[in-house]
């Protein structure tokens, strides 16, 4: 899917201030996590790896992993300290680790990537289609060109961290990749304070889908509807994946991407 520059506007300078909503999302998670666990479908024990966003490490997505472990998954972090952008060495380590996990367990690995972590997940999915079961993106702007990313708040942050990497190597890499061959789900919010939501949706086909929720960019790993959707997607049988259904009470919390 290609988004033209005229189809969407970049967030304003003050848009990141709306991310303060993450406080409510985190509070809701810790208040209702027991209820969420009871309502969510159980897992089959297959391995799941979470990939953190820019300037975050495994601690940031630890609550999500603990929730997934409580549902029966073998969930772990990427174990590579802070995500400070493109790192060929880290990518190579992830390739080796995922390959090893798939070989030793005899089961494919599911990936959950938040924002920049989702870009790593997309690259890994194309590199290791035989070892990855499915990919779930949380607010990941993989559908964006380098030119379109120039005015994004997250781009400016990225370039402060890696001033020698202009234009963004990761944006250039992911812009060359289409949809993955294994099931993938892009979860996004139109209230994203860092990236335009249209850059976070995928081309829909028989194994790719988009799910729209309400919330902030930063709070996606703590967002209760997001966590329910993630559990629902992971619970799909490996050889019998079906798209997320938008019916009943779900219509109050989720909707597919708008045209």
**How far is residue 11 from each of residues 19, 75, 80, 84, 200, measured CA to CA in Å?**
12, 33, 30, 22, 14
pLDDT at residue number 167: 47
SS (H, E, C) the chain: CCCCCCCCCCCCCCHHHHHHHHHHHHHHHHHHHHHHHHHCCCCCCCEEEEECCCCCCCCCCHHHHHHHHHCCCEEECCCCCCCCCCCHHHHHHHHHHHHHHHHHHCCCEEEEEECHHHHHHHHHHHHCCCCEEEEEEECCCCCCCCCCCCCCHHHHHHHHHCCCCCCCHHHHHHHCCCCCCCCEEEEEECCCCCCCHHHHCCCCECCEEEEEECCCCCCHHHCHHHHHHHHHHHCCCCCCCCCCCCCHHHHHCCECCCC
For the chain, what is the mean pLDDT?
87
pLDDT at residue number 159: 67
pLDDT at residue number 14: 58
Domain ranges of the chain: 15-236
pLDDT at residue number 5: 45
pLDDT at residue number 6: 46
Reported pTM: 0.89
pLDDT at residue number 141: 86
| CATH architecture assignment, domain 15-236 | 3-Layer(aba) Sandwich (3.40)
Per-residue b/e over 40-73, b at no fewer than 16 CB within 10 Å?
beebeebbbbbbbbbebbbebbebbbebbebbbb
pLDDT at residue number 154: 63
pLDDT at residue number 257: 74
pLDDT at residue number 121: 94
Using alpha carbons, select from 53, 197, 43 the residue that is nearest to residue 121: 53
Q: Could you state, in chain order, the average pLDDT of each consecutive group of 10 residues for the chain (259 residues)?
A: 51 66 95 96 97 94 98 97 86 97 97 93 94 97 66 65 59 68 95 86 92 95 98 95 93 83
Give the separation between CA 224 and CA 213, rounded to whole angstroms.
10
């Amino acid at each position: 899917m290609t988004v033209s520059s005229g189809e969407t506007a970049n967030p304003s300078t003050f848009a990141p201030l709306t991310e303060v909503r993450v406080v409510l999302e985190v509070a809701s998670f810790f208040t209702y996590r027991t209820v969420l666990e009871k309502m969510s479908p159980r897992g089959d024990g297959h391995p799941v790896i979470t990939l953190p966003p820019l300037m975050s490490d495994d601690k940031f997505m630890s609550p999500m992993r603990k929730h997934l472990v409580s549902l029966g998954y073998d969930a772990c972090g990427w174990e590579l300290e802070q995500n400070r952008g493109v790192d060929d060495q880290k990518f190579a380590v992830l390739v080796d680790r995922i390959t090893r996990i798939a070989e030793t367990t005899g089961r494919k690995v599911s990936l959950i990537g938040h924002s920049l972590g989702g870009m790593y997940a997309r690259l890994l999915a194309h590199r290791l289609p035989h070892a990855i079961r499915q990919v779930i993106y949380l607010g990941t702007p993989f559908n964006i060109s380098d030119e379109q990313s120039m005015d994004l708040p997250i781009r400016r942050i990225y370039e402060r961290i890696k001033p020698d990497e202009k234009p963004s190597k990761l944006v250039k890499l992911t812009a060359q990749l289409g949809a993955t061959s294994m099931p993938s789900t892009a979860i996004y919010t139109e209230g994203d304070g860092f990236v335009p939501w249209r850059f976070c949706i995928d081309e829909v086909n028989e194994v790719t889908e988009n799910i729209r929720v309400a919330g902030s960019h930063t709070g996606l790993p703590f967002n209760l509807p997001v966590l329910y959707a993630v559990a629902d997607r992971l619970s799909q049988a490996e050889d019998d994946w079906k798209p997320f259904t938008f019916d009943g009470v779900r219509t109050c919390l989720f909707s597919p991407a708008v045209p």
